[in-house]
């Protein structure tokens, strides 16, 4: 991914989440919370996947599309669960955050979904970019 895309996506996610906290947009604006909880892990997993690919670690984490999606889902689960823990701490410190249990579970679900989508998109793009087979990263792409 070109560096300008990476910077743009990170800045977008930072502004999306920062604006949500600064102006309390997560609850009153319809779907704002859902979009933020889906896009943030999607972008972060896609960027991490590219770092892993460029470092040569795709054999372990992104060997097949299914393995890539599972890896992305796990990253999304860990990240979303950690973020929900941070939200609980912020709420305990006095920052008003909706901590309803269904909202927390749905936010974690969106983190898992976003992580899986980010990994799938990155795997599809990066396999083409590096000229690798979609089913086995040890083999070159056939076409």
Q: Give the pLDDT of residue 87.
A: 85
Q: How confident is the model at residue 133 (pLDDT cuts 50, 70, 90)?
A: low
Tokens of 108: 């974690």
Q: Where do we find the tokens 């892990």?
A: 41
Query: What 8-state DSSP symbol labels residue 140?
Result: B
**pLDDT, average across residues 122-130:** 79
Q: Nearest CA to 37 among 111, 112, 120?
A: 111
Is the pLDDT assigned to residue 137 strictly greater than 60? Answer: no
Average pLDDT, the chain: 85
Query: For residue range 34-79, what is the model confidence (pLDDT) as tens digits?
Result: 999 999 999 999 888 888 877 776 666 677 788 889 999 999 999 9
Taking the C-alpha atoms of residue 113 and residue 107, their distance in angstroms, rounded to an integer, is 10
Confidence (pTM): 0.84
């Amino acid at each position: 991914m070109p560096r300008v895309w990476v910077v743009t996506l990170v800045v977008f996610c930072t502004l999306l989440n920062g604006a949500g906290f600064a102006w309390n947009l997560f609850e009153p604006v319809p779907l704002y919370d859902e979009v933020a909880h889906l896009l943030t892990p999607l972008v972060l997993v896609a960027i991490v996947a590219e770092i892993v690919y460029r470092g040569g670690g795709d054999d372990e984490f992104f060997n097949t599309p299914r393995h890539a999606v599972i890896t992305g889902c796990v990253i999304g689960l860990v990240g979303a669960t950690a973020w929900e823990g941070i939200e609980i701490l912020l709420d305990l410190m006095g920052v008003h955050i909706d901590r309803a249990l269904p909202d927390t579970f749905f936010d974690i679900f969106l983190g898992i979904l976003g992580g899986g989508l980010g990994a799938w998109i990155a795997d599809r793009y990066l396999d083409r970019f590096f000229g690798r087979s979609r089913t086995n990263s040890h083999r070159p792409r056939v076409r």
